[in-house]
Structure formats: structure tokens, C-alpha cells
Structure 1
Amino acid sequence: MQCQWINNHPTDLSKINHTINPQLSQTNEENPVHFQTKFAGYMEMYSDVQSVGHYLNAHQGWFCHCAAPMKTKSLDNNGYVLTIGQFASFGYEVEPKLAVVLEQPKDGVYKMYSIPLPDEPSLGYEVDYQAVMRLTEIPTNLAGDGLVKAYRKQGLSQVPDVITRVEWQLEMDVAVQFPKFIYKLPLSLIQTTGDRLLSQIVRQISPGLTYKVQQDFHDKQSLPLPPKSSRHLERLGELQEKSA
């Protein structure tokens, strides 16, 4: 989801405990390489904040379905194991897997973060995923373009007075222990390629997850589906990188 979350009430992700194992570099001949990326995004839900919050809190009813085609497995009451898919670079292939926990909201803030994979041997990588999300109720006139059209398309003339804007921010740090032949390449090339690939993975997964969550919620509420313009995702720092 892109389950992720910020804007009017930013949360400092640096204060959230990370799960990367500090001993990883001491048990291998070569140090692992860390790849990082940060994103922010939002989606609009055509209902009040209480209804949206109730839906998101009951994630057992939507998370696995909306995360497809990723493979998912429930982990206790608030956790899931996700298998992201197969990715390759420099002739090295990996099928990333991570375990995440979705906390119940506290003071209106939702958190989702990675935990060590249970009963898994060393996979050669570790994923540190941290995300925060906030729900904000906004008047309909501040909604993105397409709300009125979506209602009329469904034969509804009366639009709601308020809708809910779901805002998120996510950070990922992936530490990869490569085979020895990879370390013969320049570290800068490995770093830039890995960072770019990690960002591409987020760009591939997040929009689809966001759309499916919107679709599932609005179908269950018999509400019009918000248009594409109601969803947004951007990589943080990208504008600065382009202007540098």
C-alpha cells in the first residue's frame, strides 16, 4: 500500500527504529551494499474519515487481496509476509521477501514497518521498510478534478460535503550481500543502479496497490471510483537530484 504517509502533519521517520542487522557486515567477506529510496503519496477516498479509518483498520479483509499479484501470507493478527517478485541486475537475481506489521493508529497516525522474517535462513539481504500514514478530512471543493464527473457517471447528482485524503511517506533501506563477482564492479555503479532499481520497484507496486485499495473500498461502499488524478506518488529528493 504503498500501504505508506505525511503532508500537513509530517512524521520524522529517522526516529523509528530500524531492523537492519548490524552484524551482517561482520559475518561476510565483503560488506553489504545499502540501497535507499524515499517516496510520498496520497489517494482520495470519497467518504468521511471515520468510514475510511474503519476500513483501513480491518486490513485482514483487504490487504492480501489488494496486494496481489504479490504473494502474501498472514503473520499473526497485524503482520504479513510479502514476496515482491523476481528482479535482476548485473546477472544477479533476487526474489525479495519481507515481513511487515501494520499497527493500529495512534493519535491519527498509522505506522507500517518491517520485522525480521520468521523461521527464515539468511537470504543474503535485509529489508528495512518504514511508513507512516495520516487521514485528513477535506471539503469536496479541495478534491482533485473528476469527483463530480465520477458521481454523474454513476447517476448520482449529490456529491458529499467532505472526502478523506490518505497521505503517506515511506522509506526503504535494503542491504544486499552480493556474490564476489559483483564487487569487481565500481561501487558507484552498483550503488546508483541499485538505488534506481529499488525506486522502480516502488513505482511498479505502489500505484497498483493504491488503485486496488480505492476500488475495493468504493465498491464495498457503493461509491463512484475516484479517477487516476486522485492518486499521486513521487520520489522525495528527485527534483533536487535533477537540478543538481
Structure 2
Amino acid sequence: MQCQWPNNHPSQVSEVSLSNLEEQELTQPLEANPVHFKTQFVGYMEMYSDADTVANYLNAHQRWFCRCAAPMKTEAIGDNGYILTVGRFGSFGYDVEPKLAVVLEPSLNGVYDMHSIPIPDEPYLGYEVDYHASMSIKEIPSRLASPGLEKAFKKQKQAQVPEIITKVEWNLAMDVAVKFPKFIHKLPFSVIQKTGDRLLTQIVRQISPRLTYKVQEDFHKGEDLPVPTKNSRHLDKVDESSLEQAA
């Protein structure tokens, strides 16, 4: 996956020459103070089976996580952890290939927590990722499912539509602290902040829906069930203004 930071941000100012910045050496020291980029999302997906069957599948993530996370590079660590290499991102002449290590905690009362940990045996890469996601499962009547359930079963020639399905809901938050080379800080801070926040949001919007679909597909094909339609999965960004009002 290749992504680029937008380099045509309207708030960029004329006194900063990006071409001159990009000509500078990238080996100069990193600034001591990192810049924090943040984003937060909520979402859900529907699984056309009972909660126990879905829970058994989620609990056995060693069987499906690496496969469903592709094309991201994944490496299992321990019983419940993974190192993910997300892709290469950059602009202003500065590129990084973000990596993070995450742990999927065993479920507690139907709630699954996933959080970042330091990457084992890895030197400091110039950034730190603080990631946390919480996922819960609950059964709902199939009549409350998103449109398309009955059509999906008929298409697969399965007349028996389940009375209940399972809804998997989650929220996730990311805080990425990046130490940039000094020449990046010649840009206005507002440009750096807005560009980084927007890029982080774009990364989540690209990765999360793809992972969600692959998990749905993997589970339903394994259970010989029709794969849910697109409107059975959803992702929404949580605006900072709504968080401030809630606080």
C-alpha cells in the first residue's frame, strides 16, 4: 500500500519553500519534542450467526488474523500479539514505514480489548504509536439487521434465514507521536498538524474497512454462510468537537 501526505494543503504559506526543504539531508538530528497526531473511530459489522459461534471464531485469532490483515506484513509475537507493518507514507521529503505491535486480549464478559505495546527488540524508530480498540458482541433479532440479509441467503439458495445474528461493535483511538528532522519544523505547525491528522485518518479509513470485510468473508465462508453485504459494516470518524462536548 502506498500513500502520500497531501502536498497541496491550502494553508501552506509562501515563505516556506518545500523544494528547498526537500533538498536538505534527512540525516540531521530529530527534534526532541514529538508532534502528536490523533484520530478516533467507531464502527460495527454484522455476523450471520449466534454470539457463541462468533466468539469462538474471534478467540481463535491465530488462525485468521495474519491472513485477514494482508496485504499488511504481519508477524506473530507470543500467543496474542502481532507486529504490523502498515506501509510507506511521507511528504516534504520525509518518509516513514510505520510499524506497531499490538496485543489482542482474551475476551472479558464479551468485550475484547486490543492495544499497542513496544515493538520487541526494535530500536527507536522516530515515532511511537499509542493504539487502543475495544470490541463487544451482542445478539440481535435478524429483523434489525441491515438491509440485504434475506437477499444474501436467497442468493446462496439458503431458505432458512436465522432468527438472530451477532452485531460486533467497536471503537478505536490512535495517538502517534513523531519526532521529525529539524527541517520539517520550518513549516508552520498548523500545516504539520493538519497534514498528519488527515493522513492518520486516511490510513484508518483504508485499513479498517478492508480488514472488516476480510474477517466477515473468512468467517462466513468457513461457516458456509452468505457473506454480508456492504451495508452490514460501518465506520465513522469521531469528531473532536463531539468529544469536547461529551467531556
Quickly name the TM-score band, shorter chain normalised: 0.7 to 0.9
Match of 1:54 in 2: 56
For residues 1-244 of structure 1, what are the structure 2 equivalents within 5 Å? 29-237=31-239
**Structure label with greater radius of gyration:** 2
Q: 2:31, 2:193 → 1: CA distance?
A: 19
RMSD, matched Cα: 1.5
For 1:57 and 1:157, how far apart are their aligned partners in 2?
29
Q: 1:207 to 1:179 in 2, by over 3 A?
A: same
CA shift, 1:89, in A, is 2.2
Cα distance in 2 for residues equivalent to 1:148 and 1:164:
15
Matches of 1:28 and 1:239, distance apart in 2: 32
Note the alpha carbon deviations across 1:91-130, whole angstroms, 9 max, x for none: 2111000000000011211000000000001100000000
| Conservation of the 8 A alpha-carbon contact between 2:31 and 2:179 | no
Would you identify which runs of 4 or more consecutive aligned residues in structure 1 move more than 2 Å?
A: 27-30, 238-241
Asked whether the 8 Å contact 2:126–2:179 carries over to 1, the reply is yes
Aligned-partner Cα distance in 2 for 1:29–1:89: 17
Structure 1 SS opposite 2:213: helix
Q: Is the CA contact 2:132–2:172 (under 8 Å) kept in the aligned structure 1?
A: yes
Between the aligned partners of 1:79 and 1:42, the Cα distance in structure 2 is: 23
Displacement of 1:30 after TM fit? 3.4
- Percent identity between matched residues is 66
Matching residue's letter, 2:147: D
Contact 2:74 2:85 in 1 (8 A): yes
1:169-222 CA-partner distances (Å, limit 9, x unpaired): 000000000011100011111001100000000000001000000000000000
Q: Which letter does structure 1 place at the counterpart of 2:162? A: P
Number of equivalenced pairs: 215
> How far apart are 1:158 and its partner, in Å?
1.3
Compute the displacement of 1:157 (Å): 1.2
Structure-2 change in CA distance of 1:148 and 1:104 (3 Å): same
Distance 1:134 1:108 in 2: 6
CA positional deviation for 1:225 = 0.5
Is there any run of 5+ residues in structure 2 with no aligned partner, and where?
A: 1-28
